[in-house]
């Protein structure tokens, strides 16, 4: 499948590698957040259980959009957990149940995602890839707000 939207082929190859890295990392982050939703305990259970569900529902939509952007660029998105595990910059978490610990892990995940998204945004801006720029700008803006809110929960 080729690129039919007028972008340089070498750029398209490079940007889709970065997008696949974001896809893999977003999938791992989604699974972590899903686990926090299921397993959170403590005095803020009711509040965090709902917030984590909102977050993983948002993430699953972004994951789909990232995969569709890769397809729009004429490439194939990664689609196995084995592939995701090999390249994700976000580590899987296990047995995290305390509300504050879950929130700290979410903030660490956003830190990783925002770093990837800013790199993609920069590369896309240089190439005039407005579709990818628009997508990354939206993610960055929404995630920065999440960082502010989850940090406020921790009193930071």
Per-residue pLDDT of the chain (156 residues), as tens digits, is 456 899 999 999 999 999 999 999 999 999 999 999 999 999 999 999 999 999 999 999 999 999 999 999 999 999 999 999 999 999 999 999 999 999 999 999 999 999 999 999 999 999 999 999 999 999 999 999 999 999 999 998
Residue 117 near residue 89 (C-beta atoms within 8 A): no
Q: What is the 3-state secondary structure (H, E, C) of 76-106?
A: CCCCCHHHHHHHCCCCCCCCCCEHHHHHHHH
Residue 125 near residue 69 (C-beta atoms within 8 A): no
Centre a 10 Å sphere on the Cβ of residue 139 and count the other Cβ atoms it contains: 22
For each of the domains in the chain, give its residue range(s) and CATH number, in order of start. 9-153 (1.20.1260.10)
Backbone angles phi, psi at 5, to 5 degrees: -115, 15
């Amino acid at each position: 499948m080729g690129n039919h939207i007028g972008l340089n082929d070498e750029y398209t190859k490079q940007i889709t590698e970065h997008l696949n890295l974001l896809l893999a990392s977003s999938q791992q982050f989604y699974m972590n957040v899903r686990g926090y939703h299921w397993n959170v305990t403590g005095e803020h259970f009711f509040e965090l259980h709902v917030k984590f569900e909102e977050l993983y529902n948002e993430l699953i939509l972004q994951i789909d959009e990232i995969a569709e952007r890769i397809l729009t660029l004429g490439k194939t998105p990664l689609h196995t957990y084995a592939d995701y595990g090999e390249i994700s910059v976000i580590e899987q978490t296990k047995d995290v149940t305390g509300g504050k610990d879950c929130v700290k892990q979410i903030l660490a995940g956003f830190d990783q995602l925002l770093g990837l998204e800013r790199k993609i945004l920069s590369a896309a801006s240089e190439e005039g890839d407005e579709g990818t720029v628009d997508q990354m700008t939206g993610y960055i803006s929404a995630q920065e707000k999440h960082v502010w809110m989850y940090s406020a929960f921790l009193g930071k």
